[in-house]
Structure 1
Amino acid sequence: MRIFLSALLFLAISSVYAQNTISGVVLDASNQDQLAFVNIYFPDLEKGAATDENGRFSIENLPSGSYNILFSMIGYETQSLKLIIPSTEDIEIKLTPSAIEMQSIIISTPFHKLQRDNVMKVEQKSIKDLKTKGAVTLADGITNIAGVESVTTGMGIGKPVIRGLSSNRVVVYTQGVRLENQQFGGEHGLGLSDAGVESVEVIKGPASLLYGSDALGGVLYLNPERFAEEGTSSGDLGANYFSNTQGFNTSASFKTSENNWKFLFRGSLAEHSDYDTEDYRVTNTRFREQDFKAGVGYQVSKFKTEFRYNVNHSKLGIPEEIGEQSTNKTPLLPYQDITNHVMSSKSTVFFNDSRLDINIGYIYNDRKEFEEEHDHDEDEEHEEEDHDEEEHHDEEDHDDDILEAALHMKLKTANYDVKYSLPQLGKFETIFGVQGMHQTNSNYGEEELIPDATTNDFGILGTSHIHFEKADIQIGARFDTRTIDVLNGLNKSFESFNGAFGVKTDIAKNLTTRVNLATGFRAPNLSELTSEGSHEGTNRYEIGNENLKSEQNFQADLSLEFQNEHLELFANGFYNKINNYIFLSPDGSFVNDDPVFLYLQDDAYLYGGEFGFHLHPHPIDWLHFESSFEMVTGKLDNDSYLPLIPANTLTNMVRIEFEKNWIQDGYAFVKLLTAFDQNNVGDFETATDGYSLLSAGLGGSFEVFNNDVQVTISGTNLTNKTYISHLSRLKTDGIYNIGRSINLGFIFKL
């Protein structure tokens, strides 16, 4: 290993002297005018520039090799070019006017292409776009992406659902490394803030080829904000206010880049009281979140590296019933106190026509749950309830010091991801890689939800992208092994071989189809293998099953997309067959008045898709009509329905974009989301009535004191509809989801 690292260091140092420069001009394809302020970016090198008033650009200190370069500007179609460096000729690029939004490079797939050039279907949204829709949290924001929902416990706790699959069946990546934070539990949220996140990418369906075990249902990939461009410094101050929770979030950042070094810092704070409905506030849905992110990067001609650190501390109320009606923000008992540390290192060595990427991560999840003490007599309990509000909340401020956590787990995860991109051979781009994880879980509280254990993963993969004149093909295969060693107990190992095949082709003018076939797997988690006790918050006694096998699935995806200058149509369909699907089922007995549930297995299948259109009619390109329909059905082989399958939804939106002398990037929208009745429910669920939610918003950028200020105003559930989502964990108690909220936000650019 030392020899390997020494060789990398030698290659990095020796490559400092291999520096190249490119230059060129960007023109409007319709009239040959020179275009100023076009963004130019090398995603592999993370270097960029912008054209000057004459449409010209120059980028220095580039390594030799073959790289993708992007040219993007609002009002024009993004263009991607494969550039061989060194290049002695000036580059002339012509951009085609278009009302279609600019595209970005997809980072979650290995070949880093624009979505229109990608074989896999990946949804990408910017955090800025999601926040304009009035999202309170990251988990709330991702529900604006087609095919993605969230299992929620109030507003503070939410976890992603991709086409009906969630928990350990969906992998989350942040800062380029896999996030591990006890995601097996339904009441365990993401533990991440959207502050300092630039965009979200969603891979729908099995991605075990790229990410190994647990990526059976899909991947949520969070791209961190970029460092500052070379030789520049910038910062911002931002705040949002939410009328419903009388809550706020604030954020401040600074980043700078000079002499090959890059630095960034961002801090944020969010506080919310119990959310309101037309009839009541939902007691103990209040929460507080503190987040800090920092990064340092270093880059020379043929070597770049960065280190990022994120610490997120959240105190989250766990709602149980409707009780105290107040706008206090300090959580009541029971509540979670969670600290997530994410440390990541990303390094790349560029050779003349190949590259080596090394990503290393360490995640430390410290989870505490505090509950009501049960050893007081009735008089003491009555006396405590009669405390005045000031004394009551002063006591809560010191809960952590007075109470011992009923549940206290520490999950420590080290992971690595090494990929080597081979020199392009004719039509073939090929990548080989190894990935692995070492994880320990330790208990420190009175209760033990899952035992002390060690998990080790190792996987090896190979994948190729093949370019033909009329089609692109992607193939790949992977082998994985996982071992789970429980302290003084169970020792299990699981192995799986998975593959993927995809093809993208234009079957007619402006009509593109993608067909993807892939397998995936998920090894049983510790809870499913070893549970023995009452699971707080679910009111059931769970018994694990050490004989569980790995879930294995096969999914077929078909995507059709039509796109011209003013109309986009899409239809995405899928069929997902899962062998050995793990689920909970009661055995009819009780322990301490809690029904006993056992972990069982049976084959299952899911099917459905997303369909929609986007119209921006000529010549009023500033007007947009968007509509999408999402559906998914999940069943066991015995024809009973799977639980927690989202209802079918229809979303219609009218949006306008405008610019004036006094406002830039102006927009306004009205959106109507309709969730249909969900009558296809699991054996232990009840049907859920449909509902329609009306939202609207507007915003834009203004110049204040020679600085840009972005202002947003949005309203959600404007009719104050009382409704219950099928994926709300408060549904069994008949508790409504959030009512009307008016949200105000601004970002002041420094």
Structure 2
Amino acid sequence: MKLFLTTLFIGFSIVAFGQNTLIGTVSDHHNKPIESVTVSIPELHKETITDTNGTYTFNNLPNGNFSITFSSIGYANKTLIITLNQKETRLNTLLEETSTHMDEVIISTVFNKLQSQNVMKVEHQSVKDLQQKGAATLAEGLATIPGVSQISTGTSIGKPVIRGLSGNRVLVYSQGIRMENQQFGEEHGLGMSDAGVESVEVIKGPASLLYGSDALGGVLYFNPEKFAKANTFSGNFNQKLFSNTQGSNTSLGLKTSSDHWKFLTRGSYSTHADYEIPSGEKVINTRFIEKDYKIGIGYSDTYYNSEFRYNYNNLNIGLPEEDLENTNFRTPLYPKQDIDNHMLSLHQKFFFRNSKLEADLGYTFNNRKELEAVDEVALHMKLKTASYNIKYYLPKSGNLETILGVQGLHQTNKNNGEELLIPDASTNDIGVLLTSNYEWKSHTFQAGIRYDARKINTETHGIVGEEGYFKAIDRTFESFNTSLGYKTKLRDKLTLRLNIASGFRAPNLAELTSNGVHEGSNRYEIGNADLKNEQNIQTDLNLEYGNAHFEFFVNGFYNHVNNYIFISPNGAEIDGNNVYDYVQDNAALYGGEIGIHYHPHPLDWLHFVSSFENVTGKKDTGEYLPLIPANKFSNTIRTEFNIQQWFQKGYALVNLDYILKQNNNSAFETTSNDYTLLNLGFGGNINVGKAKFDLSLNANNLLNKTYVPHLSRLKTDGIPNIGRNIILGLNFNF
């Protein structure tokens, strides 16, 4: 069937064959050519840079309407829409100087517009920017984005939280496909390395219309690094050293491209010893080792674009426990997790005369082991997921754009260990969506509707009445969801966005079937096979203003969730463990983020960035929800400078984060104290003779503050987070 469809699509594409050339120049408002401007056509994965005359050229382009993006440091990003239907098209453009943030093309929303044009507010951060903030891990970097935090287990495990929602309520996409790695567990981390990841986009709110079940709380969309520019070869070597964990991270990447073919590969290796708390003690068995390998192959011509990527990630993570003997220094002790994750994706685009078809096919294999001792595999789960996402972009009608889509997956979970958290099971999803975007003067409207069905089948296991017994389940969960968005300019440079969207999440296997002591939680958990869908409606209001020297934003949200699933003690005990049931109640989460970016004139080298984030989560009974992050006030002063020719694009920053007390705790949580963290950063591009490299130096928790975050899984044992940590990074491009 797949071969037949592919052949059919290629046949249609050949009918729409078109071989076009796009040329042009990029200048400033003094008509002076701008050199080294990055010119890209994201839909075609094509990119080039302007020469000394500001000229760029693309060959072998298909017919159709495409977004052309121009970006250069010191200038505002610019995106233009161009129609290609003749042999040679010329497009000259002017760029405006600016010193504030770059306006990025958003990939996680189906219409792929610039953020300034997007109806939905999406946070975009490059991984390089997150690293400049001093993030030691990818999850830690995500937690610097307003509205995002993490449930952490030391330095090795970080689970993203978006506006108080986590686990299966937050969907993670990488390489254009959904990541499936047992997200139901608090001790199950993100499971991916930042090596070979270019940027992340965060949708803070229900995105079930675009992504189906599990996007009720939001989406993390990771964009992989781009291929090399046409007819070039490049590479880079990156080395980081971490003082606190005596850690090391090494990454090597190579890539090359011709006019049609593209290839890249990257490998990385990380090793960290136990982290040290401010008292000088080591937290035994918080050590971990991570190996990551990525490969990408691309092909493009005038009617077809294809991109294949493969990612292998292995995590060997120690689990802290009392009375462990400190041996081996870096090698994780028992108990530990050994996790393999394989991810394969195939992204294809077919270009017709006035429309296009996109197809994303994915396969992931998550192999998770929890080992108590040598040759003693307590828990071993194999999760296999095959997914598809097909979107057809109808011919544009005036200012109206419309997309039809179908998505789905087939997933199996198989147990091979002595213990079972969840039974052997299969899950099948299918979803159909229709969404449109309409522009009229300064107003943009976006609306859509979607239907989803998820079927879950499990197998019977164990003996009735005993721990580890699972009754067979055969359930189907269905949901209709809609969204409506509106964007307008109230005044010049003042933008208003209003979005109302519904979302849903089908109960996961742990919530439906649990019957035993959950590792690390010290509680006996009992599932509920009669649980219903979680169904929510969220209203988001975004107001933002930006000129050359000052920006501000205000985000407010109200999220009402029907049938919110949580665990609650029932008063009983089994083998000395309190028994918790999975139950449901209506709940609401509300709050928002506010921030400014001030760049005073004429101090072009100075930036002040400040933000405050707040979220409150309550059940309709008035009780607080668990795992709600504390309010956070963050302030950063950043300077930018050049020292002659040998030190370019230099920066220095001071960051002060104040995390407020969290007194709004659930019945089985404790309150958390407030604390303040001071972080420093310094770096730039160094050119000494023929030697050229990037330098970064960060000092996190400079004052060696003792603190315990509210969302730390080590909080119940009174274990603080990591103390002072100096991070040195060197990056060599060749």
TM-score, scaled to structure 2? 0.96
2:503 aligned partner, one-letter code: G
Determine the structure 2 residue equivalent to 1:46. 45
Instruction: Please tell me the root mean square deviation across aligned C-alpha atoms, in Å.
Output: 1.3
Name the CA distance, whole Å, in 2 between partners of 1:168 and 1:669.
Answer: 36
Of 270-279 and 514-523, the range deviating more from structure 2: 270-279
Deviation at residue 551 of structure 1 after TM alignment: 0.2
Determine the structure 2 residue equivalent to 1:713. 697
Name the CA distance, whole Å, in 1 between partners of 2:370 and 2:600.
Answer: 54
Check if 1:520 corresponds to 2:521. Answer: no
1:513 aligned partner, one-letter code: L
Describe the SS at the equivalent of 2:602.
Answer: coil
Q: Per-residue CA shift, 1:199-227, capped at 9, x if unaligned?
A: 01100010000000010000000100011
Check if 1:286 corresponds to 2:287. Answer: yes
Determine the structure 2 residue equivalent to 1:142. 142
Name the CA distance, whole Å, in 2 between partners of 1:54 and 1:424.
Answer: 35
Determine the structure 1 residue equivalent to 2:60. 61
Deviation at residue 322 of structure 1 after TM alignment: 7.3
Determine the structure 2 residue equivalent to 1:35. 34
Q: Per-residue CA shift, 1:440-466, capped at 9, x if unaligned?
A: 000000001100000000000011110
1:359 aligned partner, one-letter code: D
Deviation at residue 101 of structure 1 after TM alignment: 2.3
Deviation at residue 89 of structure 1 after TM alignment: 5.3
Determine the structure 1 residue equivalent to 2:397. 425
Check if 1:545 corresponds to 2:528. Answer: yes
User: Contact 1:171/1:178 (CA < 8 Å) preserved in 2?
Assistant: yes
User: Contact 2:267/2:292 (CA < 8 Å) preserved in 1?
Assistant: yes
Name the CA distance, whole Å, in 1 between partners of 2:315 and 2:14.
Answer: 42
Q: Per-residue CA shift, 1:66-123, capped at 9, x if unaligned?
A: 1110111111111110101136553221111111122221110000011011000000
Name the CA distance, whole Å, in 1 between partners of 2:10 and 2:33.
Answer: 43
Deviation at residue 27 of structure 1 after TM alignment: 1.3
Name the CA distance, whole Å, in 2 between partners of 1:6 and 1:302.
Answer: 13
Q: How does 1:61-140 map to 2 (within 5 A)?
A: 61-86=60-85, 88=88, 90-140=90-140
1:692 aligned partner, one-letter code: T
Q: Per-residue CA shift, 1:562-598, capped at 9, x if unaligned?
A: 1111000110000000000000011111111111110
Q: How does 1:656-735 map to 2 (within 5 A)?
A: 656-660=639-643, 661-704=645-688, 706=690, 708-735=692-719
Describe the SS at the equivalent of 1:219.
Answer: strand
Describe the SS at the equivalent of 2:376.
Answer: coil
User: Structure 1 stretches (4+) deviating beyond 4 angstroms?
Assistant: 12-15, 322-327
Name the CA distance, whole Å, in 2 between partners of 1:656 and 1:135.
Answer: 19
Name the CA distance, whole Å, in 2 between partners of 1:477 and 1:704.
Answer: 57
Describe the SS at the equivalent of 2:31.
Answer: coil
Determine the structure 2 residue equivalent to 1:342. 343
Deviation at residue 531 of structure 1 after TM alignment: 0.6
Determine the structure 1 residue equivalent to 2:170. 170
User: Contact 2:13/2:352 (CA < 8 Å) preserved in 1?
Assistant: no
Deviation at residue 131 of structure 1 after TM alignment: 1.0
Q: How does 1:300-449 map to 2 (within 5 A)?
A: 300-321=301-322, 324=325, 328-372=329-373, 399=374, 403-449=375-421
Give the direction of change, closer, same or farther, for the CA distance of 1:706–1:302 in structure 2 (3 Å limit): farther
Q: Per-residue CA shift, 1:176-204, capped at 9, x if unaligned?
A: 00000001000001110000000011000
User: Contact 1:168/1:214 (CA < 8 Å) preserved in 2?
Assistant: yes
Name the CA distance, whole Å, in 2 between partners of 1:414 and 1:91.
Answer: 42
Determine the structure 1 residue equivalent to 2:457. 485
Q: How does 1:226-265 map to 2 (within 5 A)?
A: 226-265=226-265
Determine the structure 1 residue equivalent to 2:7. 6
1:556 aligned partner, one-letter code: T
List runs of 5+ in structure 2 lacking aligned partners: 461-471
Deviation at residue 9 of structure 1 after TM alignment: 2.8
Determine the structure 1 residue equivalent to 2:271. 271
List runs of 5+ in structure 1 lacking aligned partners: 373-398
Q: How much identity, in percent, do the aligned residues show? A: 54
User: Contact 1:453/1:485 (CA < 8 Å) preserved in 2?
Assistant: yes
User: Contact 2:10/2:350 (CA < 8 Å) preserved in 1?
Assistant: no
1:688 aligned partner, one-letter code: S
2:357 aligned partner, one-letter code: L
Q: Per-residue CA shift, 1:13-52, capped at 9, x if unaligned?
A: 566x6211111111112x2211111111111111122111
Determine the structure 1 residue equivalent to 2:158. 158
TM-score, scaled to structure 1? 0.94
Q: Per-residue CA shift, 1:468-518, capped at 9, x if unaligned?
A: 102011100100000000024110000000000001101112210000000
Of 135-144 and 202-211, the range deviating more from structure 2: 135-144
Deviation at residue 6 of structure 1 after TM alignment: 1.6
Deviation at residue 527 of structure 1 after TM alignment: 0.4
Give the number of equivalent residue pairs: 719
Determine the structure 2 residue equivalent to 1:569. 552
Which residue of 638, 648, 658 maps to 1:655? Answer: 638
Name the CA distance, whole Å, in 2 between partners of 1:467 and 1:664.
Answer: 42
Describe the SS at the equivalent of 1:265.
Answer: strand
Determine the structure 2 residue equivalent to 1:460. 432
Describe the SS at the equivalent of 1:3.
Answer: helix
Name the CA distance, whole Å, in 1 between partners of 2:360 and 2:492.
Answer: 40
